């Protein structure tokens, strides 16, 4: 999650990203654990998840939360949340909107669902300063165009929460020829991550999953590792912006139910409620305690946690990380250089005057 006091046009470290984010809490499925043990850390990761990523894990961690951390003023501050119409994104939007004086920008793909969610958020929070922007996060050029338009139309953006994410089970490409999971989870909304990344080492030689068997769960976990690496890189490259990446735990969301039905059925009531999954996102976006942490850290239940499991062999050499960043820069430059598309209702955000 990115936090900044200043002009929105300064918050654009990479293509279409005014800052950092966390991605929807889609954990690895049990089928991936039992049938695709790709590294020695996977059993450790799953057993650790049973204790920490579930509803019980959250309730245990919450006993140590400081109840005053979220007793803050957000008057005059603006927040952008991608994927804000359902699941963790909507729960985050409600929690932020309940703080008097703040403005919430919802970035969603489907206009009807977004407007319905906005009505719920306004009714539950009592805050009418909630605005909808229609953007397809799978289409990287569209994300960049939206970011450019937002900078021109709005004076500031204080916090960006990149929550939107996807898990496409077959290899498909977007209009720019980018694999859709990579386009959405890495190029389009970099930075709420997932515990699944703990079993993945960065693969700088295959960013778009073109080699070998396409396993959507492993691709998703690789995207999450990419997010963590990017967050650490951005934190070093942009010291005036505070970056954080987080894991919401295993959460009962529509995305998990649809993308991982077997895992969803197996975990059942052990899955966290969406408000519990959103808690650390809200804490990172609002609290002074979070602002005092070192930029570029990975969080779980309001605590900074390691980005690698013991004996998982997921550390990457500096040259792999540099190769990864260079490839992203090249992809971003190529997309920015494309001819401007004809404007339409789907590529430009709604403004307060049009809502």
DSSP characters over 202-223? --TT-TT--SS---HHHHHHHH
DSSP three-state, residue 10 = helix
Query: Which single residue is written with the structure tokens 């654990």?
Result: 33
Contacts 24+ apart (CB under 8 A), 5-8: 5/158, 6/156, 6/240, 7/155, 7/156, 8/150, 8/151, 8/154, 8/155, 8/156, 8/157
Show the beta-strand stretches assigned E in 151-293: 159-161, 242-246
**What pLDDT was estimated at residue 273?**
97
**What pLDDT was estimated at residue 337?**
80
Nearest-10 crossing angle of helices 87-97, 274-286: 50
**What pLDDT was estimated at residue 299?**
94
CA 33 and chain centroid, separation: 23
Burial of 345 per CB tally in 10 Å (0-12, 13-18, 19+):
exposed
Pairing of strands 297-300, 103-108: unpaired
Out of 53, 58, 131, 220, the active site residue is: 220
Per-residue pLDDT of the chain (355 residues; tens, 9 = 90+): 666 544 443 333 233 222 333 333 333 333 333 333 334 446 666 777 888 999 999 999 999 999 899 999 999 999 999 999 999 999 999 999 999 899 999 999 999 999 999 999 999 999 999 999 999 888 888 888 888 899 899 988 899 998 876 565 567 676 666 665 555 556 554 333 334 444 344 555 555 555 664 556 666 677 777 778 888 888 888 888 888 988 899 999 888 888 788 889 989 999 999 999 999 999 999 999 998 999 999 899 999 988 766 555 667 788 888 888 888 788 778 877 877 655 444 433 333 333 3
- Number of Cα atoms under 13 Å in the Cβ half of residue 235: 19
CA dihedral 352, 23, 273, 130 (to 10 degrees): 0
> Is the separation of the CB atoms in 45 and 309 below 8 Å?
yes
- Which domains does the chain carry? 41-334 (3.40.50.720)
**What pLDDT was estimated at residue 276?**
97
Would residue 53 show up in a list of annotated catalytic residues for this protein? no
Q: What is the pTM of this model?
A: 0.74
The CA distance from 280 to 50, in Å, is: 19
**What pLDDT was estimated at residue 121?**
98
Of 126, 86, 77, the C-alpha closest to 106 is: 86
- DSSP string computed for 58-105: HHHHHTT--TTTT----TT-EEEEETTTSHHHHHHHHHHHTSTT-EEE
Residues in the chain: 355
**What pLDDT was estimated at residue 21?**
35
Handedness of CA 75, 80, 86, 92 (dihedral sign): negative
The CA distance from 190 to 185, in Å, is: 6
């Amino acid at each position: 999650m990115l936090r900044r006091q200043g002009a929105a046009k300064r918050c654009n470290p990479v293509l279409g990203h005014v800052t950092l984010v966390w991605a929807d809490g889609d954990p690895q499925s049990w089928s991936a654990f039992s049938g695709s043990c790709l590294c020695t850390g996977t059993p450790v990761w799953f057993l650790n998840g049973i204790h920490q990523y579930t509803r019980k894990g959250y309730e245990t961690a919450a006993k140590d939360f400081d109840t005053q951390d979220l007793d803050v003023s957000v008057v005059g501050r603006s927040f952008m949340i991608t994927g804000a119409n359902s699941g963790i994104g909507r729960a985050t939007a409600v929690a932020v909107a309940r703080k008097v004086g703040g403005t919430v920008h919802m970035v969603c793909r489907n206009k009807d669902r977004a407007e319905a969610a906005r009505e719920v958020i306004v009714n539950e929070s009592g805050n009418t300063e909630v605005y909808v922007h229609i953007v397809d996060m799978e289409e990287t050029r569209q994300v960049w165009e939206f970011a450019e338009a937002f900078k021109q139309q709005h004076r500031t953006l204080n916090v960006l929460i990149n929550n939107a994410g996807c898990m496409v089970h077959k290899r498909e490409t977007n209009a720019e020829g980018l694999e859709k999971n990579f386009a959405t989870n890495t190029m389009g909304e970099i930075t709420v991550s997932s515990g699944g990344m703990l079993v993945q080492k960065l693969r700088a030689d295959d960013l778009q999953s073109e080699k070998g068997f396409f396993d959507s769960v492993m691709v998703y976990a690789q995207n999450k590792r990419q997010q963590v690496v990017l967050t650490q890189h951005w934190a070093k490259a942009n010291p005036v912006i505070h970056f954080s990446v987080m894991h919401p735990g295993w959460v009962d969301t529509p995305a998990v139910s649809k993308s991982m039905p077997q895992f969803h059925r197996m975990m059942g009531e052990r899955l966290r409620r969406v408000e519990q999954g959103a808690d650390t996102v809200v804490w990172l976006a609002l609290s002074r305690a979070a602002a005092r942490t070192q930029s570029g850290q990975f969080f779980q239940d309001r605590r900074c946690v390691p980005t690698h499991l013991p004996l998982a062999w997921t550390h990457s050499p500096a040259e792999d990380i540099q190769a990864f960043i260079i490839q992203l820069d090249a992809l971003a430059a190529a997309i920015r250089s494309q001819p401007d598309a004809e404007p339409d209702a789907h590529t430009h955000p709604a403004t307060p005057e049009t809502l």
